[in-house]
Chains A and B, each alone.
Chain A
């Protein structure tokens, strides 16, 4: 019902005679609406001939034109060079030999460039290029394209020019000279003869100057010991290929111990040849890569390790220094000592104990053994850091004695345990210059932040070891307004020559008998070294001091570096953040590793939640009053009871993308730069969410996934015993699985047939292949929360398995003996837990390129199909994303693009910025959302090799075919090639007795095969 209620709009309406009411009724808008004024110039508008209708026509036309234009394809611009450089052909890769050097990693490498952009790191395969690339070196090419790099000099936080910087520094140096204030050059280990000369010049010109070398992760104690005996600050080199018995006391020599790059030599001796292979005994606290590869692993606390070292010293040298009994491990240690002594010159001992006395004993033992593997003559020069000098510097700075501080490649405000003292001292320094790739903690607080070029933009030289000289050459023009430390030094000492000319002169004087061009072309130069015999030291005192070592009460903390992160310089590199740790398989984190026993005592736990993600308790770790809070826990099988481990290199904040600011800064606990500390662990509230890519820890006695045997059985029994062909039931008869098939096989004897061989004996699990695969195949980074949901995109993963019993063999026996339902449930549940000190096995798994592939038969759109050359092809443009293939793949190697990972701000990694995308390989497609992807066996590389041979009209030689992973493998575990080339290496490996296929009984006939792991125990 309509209401008759009258609403008054104004008081005026009450007055019947009001003129306003009348006017309003006739004309709603009493005042003229100023449309013309609003639209602009009224005069012009009225003069305009454009009528309203015309206006509508224009609007209509332009809308139609715009929508028509939208139907058209985009116009792609193509811009050729104005003057094309002679050596660049668009579409063809160029390779340059150079040297990776960041003070922590050193490697002889080749850089693949496309159209002038470095896109990949390859190993330099010259025989004298001994330092292979590890995972971090492979990833370093992405760090070049880091959008968070410092792009121009800054003085007191404000943008400045290099002229300003030079003026400021020169003025400060003059002032220091006049006032007698200290000038300190604080650098990382540069091992660069040319830089050493420049620094010497600098010190000559500035009499109050001194040079302090600071390694973030220090080998100071080993350097001190070597210096005592050999009179030089260097580290002995080891050639593990010459050793039959390797005893390591706490040295992760397959990781970053003393500069790393030992895996190639180690793996040579690990492949059984003529019934022989080296024996590796590892005595350690944390489960390390070296420990995981050892034949015999003896978990001991740091104090116990010291005692063990004394015992070995006693046995080898015949001394009799009393040391405490090691309890149940006593026999094992004594046996190791006996074996080492028996090996004599074929034995070698290394140690990672951060103690001068321990390092002295290492030298003594190797000398007593006259070890062939021990080489003090060709000493390594890639660690020079002096912890005492650094401590002195901090004291000087606090006292206000330092006038000018020039830093290069160091970040003490992040890496020093006493960074607060350093910060206080830095305030008293008049001028501080920090040469740095990014605006890190130190650069922010320095008066001058000087952008340093990446090593791929720099000239340089490195004396990696005596007699091993390497050249660094730029592979791209500097991306930003950067200057090398060396150039700046030359400017400040009034040297007007260019650093290149200076380097050329120095390089030519060192590399005698070769030309400069050849030196740059090869990247390495080796020469004979003088044999040093060295003096002696007071080993007896060292041994007795060690023997008296006592646990100070509390858990013994061993600080270590992770394969992915190292000392943390490349923390802004998404490839490395997403790289799963070889042992814990966790990415995007560091954590404290504790033994199961200690975890139970402290109430710490790990558990998996419903979506499969791993959670862990939080703890607070306290070392000498310094507390590190919210440290997540991972219970690590093999961790020695009474010890904990924590990785350095995480927890950085400055100059990092937010996604990369993960983990906790363990450098806070790195007091006196000593890796061995005593800590207190307190459980705190809350649980941490890990991004762990492997949930299954053990093999549950499935011996056909990783086949392993002992050297004894391998030598004495037939292959059927230790590498049996699985049997399946055909017509109720036991038949070898290789003879049963659902399909008729194709003839694969014509043309190439690619096979990849993986030797589980040679694989150390270092993960270089994983990063090489990322770089070659444009594999996206998905971030922590996606990895936690098991949506990682790694085409190549390295599975790690622990044994549940003492050995894998034990697992199989145990499983074989179970009978009855209840019994087996109990046993199998028990087998999910790894042993306290398990055997470990690594297994790289990528697409197995099955000749009878289960994925191919279920694809509804035939997006995945088989090629004659053995590769399982994946046509991304055809894929509709049903994921049937992934579900039908027994190896779980297919990866689905749940999201668009490039140009997506939700995934703010390298593919989301223009600079980061420069690293993409133009020969490989960037996959889009909703598409399945997987290892292609680097078909772009095999096709390129074939095309090269076709163009040159020749057959392909053995060894020419490579995949990214096989080319990156320095240990020789991965060999790729044409199995139809009967004389080729792969064909021979395929015929080897140790060869087996993964899950052979399901009859997929893979083109990837493995070699049985043989253990020498």
Chain B
């Protein structure tokens, strides 16, 4: 199996940290310069409002459903903007020439009215949209800080170890000196150091001792068998299998940072034996309006740049046939050939809905903390022993399920327990999974 490690080479980190120092200073300078130009509003607040209300249709620097909004205050009069945002439909109806023009320029898609936004809110948004474009990628900054911290930790450890080694070396040298001195004293005093009797070399003695040989060879055989067994048992077990996928899909961004429920995309896990790799139309539910990566600065996207992620979103668009500039499907599709991570053999029947819907097992129980995985990997060994263990330890979730009412009563009486495990319910029978 191909495995891709998260190689964080030391030199890379050094370069990153240098870049960070430079860029941080640059960007902070830039921000300082931009602040006074923003006017009355607070860009930080404006960003929050923008993300909740506007981001579905607008982007700062690119056309989405609506036009790009950076510098919108330079184009239009502020009072006009208030009116437009509060109720653009009315403005258009009133025959305002500018409003009609904007409406027609944007394919006559009416903009949702936001009467709940106060003028102050709108000022904040305008402040946010008036901030000049940031040049340096935010991600590198955090990367560098992280890298530097790790570096420091490494140095201090090495230092202690080095000092220790040094002390030990001095001790050895000193002992040698002491021995030398003692020998010299002995020679001076005429004390004869007894010559060493020539004894059998240890390996010969060992070879002659048949008992020792027997014990050792048994030990060797046992140890050998242990390792051979261990080797054989891992054949076909692909734990930590982490293949390179045609699209770099980050569960960390989707399930972790954006807290999308697993079953939003893997919806068939609720009703089907397959959890299902989501079809691309599911991706497009969100990615119609999210065409570029907008990760926060404080988040920790160490390895990949914003451009990289945006490029991956573009791969999705190519596959589903979406023209992001015209906001339209081209009809040219190219299905994505994902590499399957979790592969059960054909002779095993596994049903997701039994575990997800009936038993209420969290996805993470088997798939691990997927919300922290940048690249999907196989968390569990998926061996029969692993399945069986869980069936032995897990109680059947019977509450509120009329199916279990009778059988659970009768079986728990029979086994004399309050709660039945899956095994007691019959979850260890061969035919339940093998047919």
Q: Does B406 contact A (CB under 8 A)?
A: yes
- Which single residue of chain B is at the shortest CB-CB distance from A923? B349
B429 close to A867 (CB less than 8 A): yes
| Contact pattern, B 392-408, Cβ under 8 Å of A = 1, otherwise 0 | 00000000111111110
A76 close to B280 (CB less than 8 A): no
A77 close to B236 (CB less than 8 A): no
- Which single residue of chain A is at the shortest CB-CB distance from B1? A72
Smallest beta-carbon distance A948→chain B, Å: 9
| Contact pattern, B 414-434, Cβ under 8 Å of A = 1, otherwise 0 | 100000000000100111101
Chain B residues lying within 8 Å of A873, measured Cβ to Cβ, are 429-431, 434-435
- Docked Cα-Cα span, A553 to B343, in Å, equals 71
Known contacts A82-B281, A867-B432, A954-B403: A91-B338 contact under CB 8 Å:
no
Chain B residues lying within 8 Å of A75, measured Cβ to Cβ, are 243, 339-340
- Which single residue of chain B is at the shortest CB-CB distance from A862? B430
Smallest beta-carbon distance B418→chain A, Å: 17
Chain A residues lying within 8 Å of B1, measured Cβ to Cβ, are 72-73
| Contact pattern, A 866-904, Cβ under 8 Å of B = 1, otherwise 0 | 011101011111100000000000000000000000000
- Which single residue of chain B is at the shortest CB-CB distance from A936? B435
B271 close to A936 (CB less than 8 A): no
> How many residues does chain A have at the interface if contact means C-beta atoms less than 8 Å apart?
49
A84 close to B357 (CB less than 8 A): no
Chain B residues lying within 8 Å of A871, measured Cβ to Cβ, are 431
Smallest beta-carbon distance B68→chain A, Å: 28
Within 8 A of A (CB), among B332-354: 333, 335-340, 343, 345-349, 351-354
A84 close to B426 (CB less than 8 A): no
Chain B residues lying within 8 Å of A925, measured Cβ to Cβ, are 346-347, 434-435
- Which single residue of chain A is at the shortest CB-CB distance from B320? A82
For the residues of B in contact with A, the DSSP-based class is loop
- Docked Cα-Cα span, A956 to B402, in Å, equals 10
- Which single residue of chain B is at the shortest CB-CB distance from A78? B340
Chain A residues lying within 8 Å of B273, measured Cβ to Cβ, are 91, 923
Q: Does B410 contact A (CB under 8 A)?
A: yes
A82 close to B340 (CB less than 8 A): no
A80 close to B277 (CB less than 8 A): yes
- Docked Cα-Cα span, A73 to B236, in Å, equals 7
B274 close to A91 (CB less than 8 A): yes
Chain B residues lying within 8 Å of A943, measured Cβ to Cβ, are 349, 432
Chain B residues lying within 8 Å of A72, measured Cβ to Cβ, are 1-2
Chain A CB count within 10 A is highest, among B271, B400, B410, B431, for B431
- Docked Cα-Cα span, A956 to B407, in Å, equals 12
Chain B residues lying within 8 Å of A863, measured Cβ to Cβ, are 430
Smallest beta-carbon distance B325→chain A, Å: 20
Chain A residues lying within 8 Å of B430, measured Cβ to Cβ, are 863, 865, 867, 873-875, 878
- Docked Cα-Cα span, A55 to B269, in Å, equals 52
Chain A residues lying within 8 Å of B349, measured Cβ to Cβ, are 923, 940, 943
Q: Does B278 contact A (CB under 8 A)?
A: yes
Q: Does B369 contact A (CB under 8 A)?
A: no
A947 close to B238 (CB less than 8 A): no
Chain A residues lying within 8 Å of B405, measured Cβ to Cβ, are 955
A868 close to B435 (CB less than 8 A): no
- Docked Cα-Cα span, A75 to B281, in Å, equals 25
B278 close to A80 (CB less than 8 A): yes
Chain B residues lying within 8 Å of A949, measured Cβ to Cβ, are 403
A877 close to B347 (CB less than 8 A): yes
Q: Does A14 contact B (CB under 8 A)?
A: no
Q: Does A89 contact B (CB under 8 A)?
A: yes
Q: Does B239 contact A (CB under 8 A)?
A: no
Q: Does A335 contact B (CB under 8 A)?
A: no
Smallest beta-carbon distance B277→chain A, Å: 4
B279 close to A80 (CB less than 8 A): yes
Known contacts A936-B431, A943-B432: A82-B280 contact under CB 8 Å:
yes
- Docked Cα-Cα span, A950 to B426, in Å, equals 15
From A77, A81, A946, A951, B337 is in contact (CB under 8 Å) with: A77
Known contacts A747-B414, A865-B429: A73-B280 contact under CB 8 Å:
no
Smallest beta-carbon distance A713→chain B, Å: 41
Within 8 A of B (CB), among A744-758: 747, 749-751
Q: Does A420 contact B (CB under 8 A)?
A: no
Smallest beta-carbon distance B155→chain A, Å: 37
From B348, B411, B431, A750 is in contact (CB under 8 Å) with: B411
Q: Does A671 contact B (CB under 8 A)?
A: no
- Which single residue of chain B is at the shortest CB-CB distance from A927? B347
- Which single residue of chain A is at the shortest CB-CB distance from B269? A91
From B339, B347, B353, B426, A951 is in contact (CB under 8 Å) with: B353
Within 8 A of A (CB), among B109-157: none
B426 close to A76 (CB less than 8 A): no
- Which single residue of chain B is at the shortest CB-CB distance from A944? B351
- Which single residue of chain B is at the shortest CB-CB distance from A71? B235
Within 8 A of A (CB), among B310-363: 319-321, 333, 335-340, 343, 345-349, 351-354, 357-358
Smallest beta-carbon distance B129→chain A, Å: 35
Smallest beta-carbon distance B229→chain A, Å: 18
Q: Does B224 contact A (CB under 8 A)?
A: no
Chain A CB count within 10 A is highest, among B271, B320, B348, for B271
From A77, A83, A747, B340 is in contact (CB under 8 Å) with: A77
Q: Does B268 contact A (CB under 8 A)?
A: yes
Smallest beta-carbon distance A466→chain B, Å: 42
Chain B residues lying within 8 Å of A73, measured Cβ to Cβ, are 1, 236, 238, 343
B431 close to A874 (CB less than 8 A): yes
Within 8 A of B (CB), among A845-876: 863, 865, 867-869, 871, 873-876
From B335, B338, B353, B431, A867 is in contact (CB under 8 Å) with: B431
From B243, B272, B337, A90 is in contact (CB under 8 Å) with: B272
B340 close to A951 (CB less than 8 A): no
A89 close to B272 (CB less than 8 A): yes
Smallest beta-carbon distance A956→chain B, Å: 7
Known contacts A83-B279, A90-B274, A953-B403: A751-B426 contact under CB 8 Å:
yes
| Contact pattern, A 946-970, Cβ under 8 Å of B = 1, otherwise 0 | 1101110111100000000000000
- Docked Cα-Cα span, A769 to B178, in Å, equals 97
From A90, A750, A867, A940, B410 is in contact (CB under 8 Å) with: A750
Chain A residues lying within 8 Å of B352, measured Cβ to Cβ, are 91
A92 close to B271 (CB less than 8 A): yes
Smallest beta-carbon distance B53→chain A, Å: 29
Chain A residues lying within 8 Å of B348, measured Cβ to Cβ, are 877
Chain B CB count within 10 A is highest, among A82, A869, A877, A947, for A82
B434 close to A955 (CB less than 8 A): no
- Which single residue of chain B is at the shortest CB-CB distance from A75? B339
Smallest beta-carbon distance B8→chain A, Å: 25
B346 close to A926 (CB less than 8 A): yes
Chain B residues lying within 8 Å of A923, measured Cβ to Cβ, are 273, 349, 435
Q: Does A939 contact B (CB under 8 A)?
A: yes
A81 close to B429 (CB less than 8 A): no
Known contacts A75-B339, A91-B272, A939-B431: A868-B426 contact under CB 8 Å:
yes
Within 8 A of A (CB), among B262-295: 268, 271-274, 276-282
Chain A residues lying within 8 Å of B271, measured Cβ to Cβ, are 89, 92, 951
From B268, B277, B357, A92 is in contact (CB under 8 Å) with: B268
Chain B residues in the interface with A (C-beta under 8 A): 1-2, 236, 238, 243, 268, 271-274, 276-282, 319-321, 333, 335-340, 343, 345-349, 351-354, 357-358, 400-407, 410-411, 414, 426, 429-432, 434-435
A–B Cβ pairs within 8 angstroms, 27 of them = A78-B277, A79-B337, A80-B277, A81-B279, A82-B321, A82-B335, A83-B280, A83-B320, A91-B272, A91-B352, A92-B271, A92-B272, A750-B407, A750-B414, A863-B430, A865-B430, A865-B431, A867-B430, A868-B426, A873-B430, A875-B430, A876-B347, A923-B349, A923-B435, A924-B435, A947-B353, A956-B403
Beyond the given pairs A76-B343, A871-B431, 15 more chain A to chain B contacts, judged by CB atoms under 8 angstroms and listed by A's residue number, are: A72-B2, A77-B338, A82-B279, A84-B281, A90-B272, A91-B274, A868-B426, A873-B435, A877-B347, A877-B348, A936-B431, A940-B349, A943-B432, A947-B354, A951-B353
The 5 A-B pairs of least Cβ separation, nearest first, read A873-B431, A91-B272, A84-B279, A91-B274, A81-B279
